[in-house]
Amino acid sequence: MKLHFALVGNKNCGKSTLFNYLTGSNQHVGNFPGVTVQKKEGALRTDPDITVIDLPGIYSLSPYTSEEIVTRDLLLYNKPSAIINVIDTTNIERSLYLTLQLIELNIPMVLALNMMDELTVSGGSIDIKALEEQLTIPVIPITANSGEGVAELIKRTIAVAQDATLPKRLDFCSGPVHTAIHAVAHLIEEKVRRKGLPLRFTSTKLLEGDDDIMQELQLSDNEKDIVGHFTQEMENALNTDREAALADMRYAYIEDLCMRTVHKPQDTEAQRRSVRLDYYLTHKYLSIPIFILIIGAVFYLTFDVIGAFLSGLLGQALDSITAAADAALTNFGINPAMHSLIIDGVFAGVCSVLSFIPTIVTLFFFLSLLEDSGYMSRVAFVMDKLLRKIGLSGSSFIPLIIGFGCSVPAIMATRTLASERDRKMTIMLTPFMSCSAKLSVYGIFIGAFFPNTGALVMLSIYLLGVIIAVLTGALLNSFVFSGKPVPFVMELPAYRMPTGRSILMHMWEKAEDFIHKAFTVIFMASIIVWFLQNFNTQFFMVNSDESIIAEIGKITAPIFAPLGFGDWRMSTALITGITAKEVVISTLSVLAVDANGNVNLPNLFTPLTAYTFLVFCLLYPPCVASLATMRKELDSRSSTAAIILYELSIAWIIAFLVRHIGLMLGFN
């Protein structure tokens, strides 16, 4: 029997940690049909017939944000076998608000009390049996980080799903709200049964004025008037509006429930620790310098110490493999053209990128530490004031941070922004963030030209991207978009020690993506570049200076000559880099081969030209996949074309200034 379990909960409740624990590597990330809000699905490690769906973190089932809409629709219309409602036990009162709404859906459900270890360490406790009796659903205490209680959680969830055990209590209200909900339920019961919707939930939503539910039930004008009459009577009786009346009803029940079942210390140890750390990390003057120091330390350890050392070892191993393959092909007497394709094309292109995997993994090890510890939420809070100066709010910082990993999910993440104006502005700024694909370009050039100042060079590149994004935002705010950013409200989770499992999952995701790209996009690009480098338009094998790619490069080289990229091989690498930024390196690895068969970048670049090249790679348009995502999100070809033209212009102008300022200062 195939089962589907939906993980539902607030943001920062540990839902994703539990999902990773349950599914391991048996998961894939996609989008809900027609909506670019991400969902994760994975097979349960202990039973491949059970699928676990990690839904976006939400605080209620009201259809205000994209996450709330897709979660509600999946639960209403695609009914999972069971709901696993994950709640943060240290914030149980707030978390139970969503729980009461989920119970109203009348779907088999289990409540997972996560972070129980934090509550008990601080002297708190929960009467599990009493809580189960009041909510009429199984309640299981767990610690998702360590896996404690998770086996029992899955056992109970399978039981309620297979037996189709529904909550025995759906009604948590009293007084005028109770009267209004039941009056509406009596009016719409027949229609709701035909549609297969939960009666209690649907009645409540009609009282809230949910237009989607009204359209789904196809209420007549008379029925709408009657619902409006019931709503008005409730508001008059309570002297408040309908949304406040329903919220007050739920919170009154939650307060009474927690008084009887929860013994909670005033502050948990994690909360006290967070307050002490936040004094410095969110300080009015110290927060940003601390952030720069932390990121600088991450870059130093990645590009000057750990990542550089590991990449060097892997590079040596790949060189040995390439040499062995070269010798084997020579001994076999294979055709020289095929020999060149395999060694100078495929091996040179793919291995040049693969050697950078340890650096990528090291960087994302540190970034995962910062993210999972809760520090990145503080940075978003701190950045709110600065972002407002360019017309954005701190909520835009999250997609921009995601852009340091990949522009595609970063652009899609803007769907969570409440304002269409903020969303479009954030999409336009995201490409200036240094995605992980650009890291391979930075890493190779830093190793070749700046071995002793790698962290400083990296920090300057990242800061330049941020500065250009800020200036672009100011221009957009002044001349393109009018209005003010929406208010920024964000929960700051308690600082927590990230688990090794979570860190390893993040690192593996990045490494897997990088390896996949190396053996697909970069593999094909290396073959194409090799072919274009070795054949002319009549398809005769020629020297690279007379090849097809040389002709293309010589046409574009004059455009880049003022930047120091007058050699056709440099301009060609930039052109092929539009497919994927890693292809810049694979192209140079095929084209920049010296007489001894070694890739020799110093033959093409000086240190100043190399730094200028990095600046251009930072600022010019992102990969084709990012541009396609941008086109889809903006729903405008002209806007996408304008962004491409702007980014090309900015990249050329800034690179020109960097080169000539460097020459004036005596660099070469």
Q: What is the pLDDT of residues 142-175, one digit of tens each?
A: 988 888 899 999 999 999 999 999 999 887 877 8
What integer pLDDT is reported at residue 381 of this predicted model?
A: 78
Between 597 and 15, the higher pLDDT residue? 15
Task: Enter the pTM of the model.
Answer: 0.68
pLDDT at 659: 93
Q: What is the pLDDT of residues 584-611, one digit of tens each?
A: 887 887 777 666 656 677 888 899 999 9
Considering only CA atoms, which of 142, 140, 138 is closest in space to residue 159? Answer: 138
pLDDT tens per residue across span 240-296: 888 888 888 888 899 999 999 988 776 666 677 788 888 888 888 888 899 888 888
Domains and CATH numbers, the chain: 3-162 (3.40.50.300), 175-263 (1.10.287.1770), 287-664 (no CATH)
What pLDDT is recorded for position 145? Answer: 80
Q: What is the pLDDT of residues 536-586, one digit of tens each?
A: 888 888 777 788 888 888 888 889 899 988 888 888 888 888 877 878 887
List the one residue out of 371, 419, 421, 369 whose CA is nearest residue 398: 371
- Give yes or no for a contact between 557 and 566, defined as CB atoms under 8 angstroms apart: yes
Question: Among residues 213, 219, 212, 215, which one has the least CA distance to residue 200?
Answer: 213
**CB-based contact 584:443 (threshold 8 Å):** no
Report the 3 state secondary structure along 247-286.
HHHHHHHHHHHHHHHEECCCCCHHHHHHHHHHHHHCCCCC
Predicted local distance difference test score (pLDDT) of residue 416 = 65
Residue 1: per-residue pLDDT = 65
How far lies 64's CA from each of 40, 71, 210, 414, 460, in Å? 21, 11, 10, 15, 40
Confidence of residue 329 (pLDDT cuts 50, 70, 90): confident
pLDDT at 129: 93
Binned at pLDDT 50, 70 and 90, residue 33 comes out as very low
Rg (C-alpha) for the chain, rounded Å, is 29
pLDDT of residue 31: 44
Of 260-274, 311-325, 405-419, 478-492, which has the strongest mean pLDDT? 311-325
Q: Flag whether pLDDT at 28 surpasses 60.
A: no
Distance of CA 129 to the CA centre of its chain: 38
Mean pLDDT, to the nearest integer, of 109-118?
90
Q: Distance (Å, rounded) from C-alpha 178 to C-alpha 172?
A: 8
Averaged pLDDT score across all residues of the chain: 83
**% the chain with pLDDT above 70:** 92
